Structure 1
Amino acid sequence: MQVQPYLFFNGRCEEALKFYGDKLGAEVIFQMRFKDAPPNPQQPIRPGTENKIMHCTFRIGSTELMASDGNCDETPGTHTGYGLSITVDDPSQGETTFNAMADGGNVVMPWQPTFWSTGFGMVVDRFGVMWMITNPHDGDKHPS
């Protein structure tokens, strides 16, 4: 069994993928647009969404995530009830990653040492996704 995060960006998926590529080195592995799907008379493609991303798989480090533009609703939903965690190898990498994700986002907890790590911070990025970046103490690294 494998569990993978699946993120819905309500029409901003391509923008998010570029942002994560620039800031985290994310690499798109597979991508399909709505226009690539076989026609379905019961669920026609909404005009203006043909070039939106129906599904994609992308990799950040050794983790694969999936994403979509979703329904591209007029009233966007919010990302709630979860956060994505990035564990880095050293505090300077952590601070750099934290600052990159904070670009255009909102800092929830500034990058700082904690009792469980040499550096930790929380940020909601410009797409509404919560990120927790941590550099654990040397003996506390989790196996990947």
Structure 2
Amino acid sequence: MMNFQLTPYLMLNGTAKEAVQFYQKVLGAEVVFIQTFGEGPEEFVNGLSSEEKGRIAHSVLKIGDSALYVGDVETGMAPVRGGQIMLCITTRDVKESQRLYELLQKDGGVVNQPLQSTYFSPSYGVVTDRFGVTFQVFTRK
């Protein structure tokens, strides 16, 4: 039995705040969590412009019985075309994240961001599978 959660993740180019407000109005979305890049740890925030600090690093919306994640791409990462829908796999175990991350790379998958410890997760990485579907693999703290 697999023990993880799969959530759609909208990645945008600086319009995540506007998108969250739009989904609140149009879809009745409830904001469960929202954090800007400027609210990250000091070593991450240093060097960001005020515009970059105001971008949404991560948000969690509850829409009906579903969850939706919305965020802006990080400065320095390739911009997404229009907006990109990713799938976020959330696990409770670093070994499970490693297993899924490695399996998604098989047969032509591409590593977008190596699986590594970050300030928000003990194990986080991004991989695009052989079908062109991009997954964020995230381990809860």
The two structures have a TM-score, normalised by structure 2, of 0.49
| More strand, by proportion | 2
| More helix, by proportion | 2
The two structures have a TM-score, normalised by structure 1, of 0.48
